[in-house]
């Protein structure tokens, strides 16, 4: 605090990590992957009554390349799992994943041969949202929890790994 007394009024000091994580968590852009009924509740969370814009996440992008939060909202079948993984791979780092609803988290009531029993079998999941489907309040709670998680991150945790594609371009 010693430095601030020497600065003119209106200035404050902070760390770069805190500034970056604050700006990251204040505008999380979700990728809405609505593949069944949870998508309806996700849309309700985006509507005027629940209004996800209050938390800075109203910009639902329909391209994974502009997103940093993947909301998997719905039953993921084995056939769909390749698509979900591809969308996740296309998102730029840093990125987070919400598994919304019972089906996505554990297969839910679809305990059968065609449905993946939990997307954590092929994706790193940050947060599971309970419910079938979860209410929009529950999704907003999940978003706030993710924001708190992002707020605790530090810049050096996201060193860019050289991926096979970029290595080819560099050579």
Angle at alpha carbon of residue 36, lines to 83 and 33, rounded to 5°: 45
Q: 36 phi and psi, to 5 degrees?
A: -165, -145
Q: Is 116 in the site for another protein (CB under 8 A)?
A: yes
Nearer to another protein, 81 or 153 (CB): 81
Separation between Cα atoms, residue 46 and residue 58, nearest integer Å:
7
Separation between Cα atoms, residue 19 and residue 23, nearest integer Å:
6
Q: Is 124 in the site for another protein (CB under 8 A)?
A: yes
Nearer to another protein, 82 or 152 (CB): 82
Q: Is 114 in the site for another protein (CB under 8 A)?
A: yes
Q: Is 164 in the site for another protein (CB under 8 A)?
A: no
User: Residue 95 CB, nearest distance to another protein (Å)?
Assistant: 15
Using CB under 8 A, which of the segments 6-14, 23-31, 110-118, 132-140 binds another protein? Answer: 110-118
Contacts of 53 (CB under 8 A, 6+ apart): 46
Contacts of 137 (CB under 8 A, 6+ apart): 50
**Among 48, 58, 40, 17, which Cα is nearest to 143's?**
58
Q: Is 50 in the site for another protein (CB under 8 A)?
A: no
Query: Among residue numbers 66 through 85, which ones bind another protein (CB under 8 A)?
Result: 78-79, 81-82, 85
Q: 19 phi and psi, to 5 degrees?
A: -65, -45
Residue in 23, 121, 148, 166 binding another protein, rule: CB under 8 A: 121
Q: 99 phi and psi, to 5 degrees?
A: -95, 105
Residue in 3, 49, 62, 113 binding another protein, rule: CB under 8 A: 113
Q: Is 122 in the site for another protein (CB under 8 A)?
A: yes
Instruction: Give, as one character, the DSSP assignment of residue 58.
Output: -
Nearer to another protein, 60 or 76 (CB): 76
Contact set with another protein (CB under 8 A)? 78-79, 81-82, 85-86, 111-114, 116, 121-124
């Amino acid at each position: 605090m010693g430095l601030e007394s020497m600065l003119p009024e209106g200035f404050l000091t902070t760390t770069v990590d805190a500034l970056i994580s604050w700006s990251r968590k204040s505008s999380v852009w979700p990728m809405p992957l609505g593949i069944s009924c949870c998508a309806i509740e996700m849309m309700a969370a985006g509507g005027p009554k629940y209004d996800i814009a209050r938390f800075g996440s109203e910009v639902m992008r329909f391209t994974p390349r502009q997103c940093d939060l993947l909301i998997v909202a719905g039953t993921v079948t084995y056939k769909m799992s390749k698509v979900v993984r591809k969308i996740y791979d296309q998102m730029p780092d840093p990125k987070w994943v919400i598994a919304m609803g019972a089906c996505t988290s554990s297969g839910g009531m679809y305990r059968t041969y065609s449905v993946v029993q939990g997307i954590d079998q092929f994706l790193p999941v940050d947060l599971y949202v309970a419910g079938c489907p979860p209410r929009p309040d529950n999704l907003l709670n999940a978003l706030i929890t993710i924001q708190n998680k992002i707020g605790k991150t530090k810049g050096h945790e996201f060193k860019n790994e050289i991926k096979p594609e970029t290595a080819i371009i560099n050579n």
